[in-house]
A and B are shown apart, each in its own frame.
Chain A
Amino acid sequence: MNENLIHRLKGHVLKVLHLFALFIAMSIICIPGLWVVLNSFRPTVEIMAKPPVWIPNDLSLDHYRAMFGAAGEGGVPVLQYFTNSLIISLTSTIIAILVGMAGGYAFARFKFRGKAGIFIGIMITRAVPGVSLSLPLFIVMAKTGLIDTHLGLILVYIALNVPFTIWLIDGFFRQVPVDLAEAAEIDGCTRWQAFWKVEFPVARAGIASAGIFAFLTSWNEYALASQLTRSTFSKTMPVGLRDFTSEFTINWGGMCALAVLMIIPALILTFIVQKHLISGLTFGGVKG
């Protein structure tokens, strides 16, 4: 009886502690982000005020209105940037996932000579800092006429994301016991069918998270995009953020407004896609 009570009490304390820790962690994660969102509704004087204005008393949509307004009055071709970003990010993510699935499967399921070497070789391409890659890449792209095109950036982002997706998907494929696929093959499936019926569902979690990562990387990439884009025809939103900086000034409120427009689609997409994180895992076969 007494022991039971202690046990229950301990459970309660743990639960409260857990919720408290969770609350603190989520606050740290959210406050700097929400501060950006809040700033997009505040006039710059209030953001930069000293002494600070803690309770916003002047919320408005001015920054958004200006952003959609005419050029020369603070207008920025937001819709064009948005479309560019969306086309480039989605296309490159889908292709990177397909390429990465093929590669990840090869590493997880086949034995071949020099495997470790090839694997590291592929990974290291990711290690090349954007700053050292951007100029030679620019020269190559200039020679092939891919500067300021969607295709150019799509290619770059595929290359950027492939090592990453291969690695991630490889890890998830490895979690599927080989016996499972073999059992399916014995049951009369082809290797191809076995892949889609047995291995793919299990690795879906990995593919979904690789997809989120690839999408977010492309959506947020700046260093290479700023080098390979020129006009509104191909400029993406992170590059568009720079429209709010000029020689002497930074329009921080306006920048926040564009940032909010960047965050919302990414947030929605993440919310939709991440449910696959679990569904792939409900497959009972994982249990040893």
Chain B
Amino acid sequence: MTRFRLPTWFVLLLPAIIVLVAVVLIPLVLSLYSSFTPYRLTRPESLYKWIGTFNYEKAVKSAHFWAAFGRTVLLLTIALNLEMLMGLGLALLVNRVTYGQRALRTLMMFPMMFSPVLVGFQFKFIFNDNVGLVNNALQSLGLTDVAIPWLVDGKLAFMSILAAEMWSSTSVFAILILAGLFAVPRDPIEAAKVDGCTPWQSFRHITLPYIMPFIYIALAIRSLDVARAYDIVQIMTNGGPARRTELLWTMIGRTGYVDAKMGYANAMGYISIFLAIFFTIYFFRKLNAARTELGMAG
């Protein structure tokens, strides 16, 4: 009796695949189907009416949708880049510390303990124009005597959201890059020092290539995860005022749950998933390139 043996790699991957199929894939198929129907939560029977690509056409034709789409891309790009740079800086700062580093690392991860819901409320109060921390501080220090409408002015609201998002997520970059910094071999750096390289040169040519994979891992993970900013934005501005901070996620959430138009919301959701796929594949390519450079390609 010959026994068919599954390849080892497949056995190893099987648990992951099973759980992902059950929790993500099956619901996704369901929502893909519903995006071709006029599905309203409050009228379950509408799930059985096929309307083809109507929802997609409606989304593609909607100026509000594309505005939100563009704004989401902008927020993603700016947030990810700034978080990466600041995370790198933070990791380098902490890495130089020799005494009390363990406590400092924990402190560095402090914002990660804050649930995004909480961050939303927290920054909503911090940026409140009347009794908020920021305006109070600015007014008490005599830097301004007007109440700055942080959450209302288009640019300021965008910046406030960005600030909240960065506060909550820069730590993720910092800790991953720090882990990468620990993995950097000491010998080449010592050798470079002996050879008379400046710290910048040895950072640029030895350390950086070594931590590049970690940076890309962090970038990709964050780009996938940035949808979590939904909680923050939903509470801080809920896309308002006058759609000035509307992101795809707030738009989809409102359409799906408040308006109960789940079919349409899922269609928008699917278009926006392509955005995430694009970012993921982009960073994945970068990651592989960085690995090839280090001779770790698989």
Contact = CB atoms under 8 A, between A and B. Distances in A.
A–B interface present (Cβ within 8 A): yes
Interface of A: 18, 21-22, 25-26, 28-30, 32-33, 35-36, 47-52, 54, 98-100, 102-103, 105-112, 115-116, 118-120, 122-133, 135-137, 139-140, 155-156, 158-160, 162-164, 166-168, 171-172, 174-175, 205-206, 209, 212-213, 216, 219-223, 237-238, 241-242, 250, 252, 255, 259, 262-263, 266-267, 270-271, 274-275, 277-278, 281, 286-288
Contacts of B19: 99, 155, 158-159, 162
Given A118-B13, A140-B30, A32 B22 contact: no
8 nearest CB pairs, A to B: A132-B269, A127-B276, A136-B27, A159-B23, A220-B115, A110-B9, A106-B12, A52-B136
Contact of B217 (A26, A32, A167): A167
A287 B186 contact: yes
Given A123-B280, A159-B24, A270-B109, A100 B16 contact: yes
A283 to B, nearest CB: 10
Interface of B: 7-10, 12-13, 15-17, 19-20, 22-28, 30-31, 34, 41, 89-90, 93-94, 96-97, 102-118, 121-123, 125-126, 130-131, 133, 136, 140, 167, 170-172, 175-176, 178-179, 182-183, 185-188, 213-214, 217, 220-221, 223-225, 227-228, 230-231, 248-249, 252-253, 256-257, 262, 265-266, 269-270, 272-273, 276-277, 279-281, 284, 288, 291, 296, 298
Contacts, number: 290
A33 to B, nearest CB: 5
27 contacts: A18-B93, A21-B89, A32-B126, A32-B167, A52-B131, A116-B288, A124-B277, A125-B24, A126-B224, A128-B24, A131-B249, A132-B265, A132-B273, A133-B24, A162-B19, A166-B16, A171-B217, A174-B213, A174-B296, A205-B182, A205-B183, A222-B116, A238-B117, A267-B110, A277-B182, A286-B183, A287-B186
A259 B270 CA distance: 34
A122 B20 contact: yes
Nearest to A54: B140
B229 to A, nearest CB: 10
A269 B86 CA distance: 25
B143 to A, nearest CB: 14
A50 B130 CA distance: 8
Contact of A22 (B97, B110, B118): B97
Contact of A35 (B25, B126, B170): B126
A168 B217 contact: yes
B256 A131 contact: yes
Nearest to B176: A209
B193 to A, nearest CB: 14
Contacts of B105: 274, 277
Nearest to B217: A171
Contacts of A271: 102-103, 106
Nearest to A280: B182
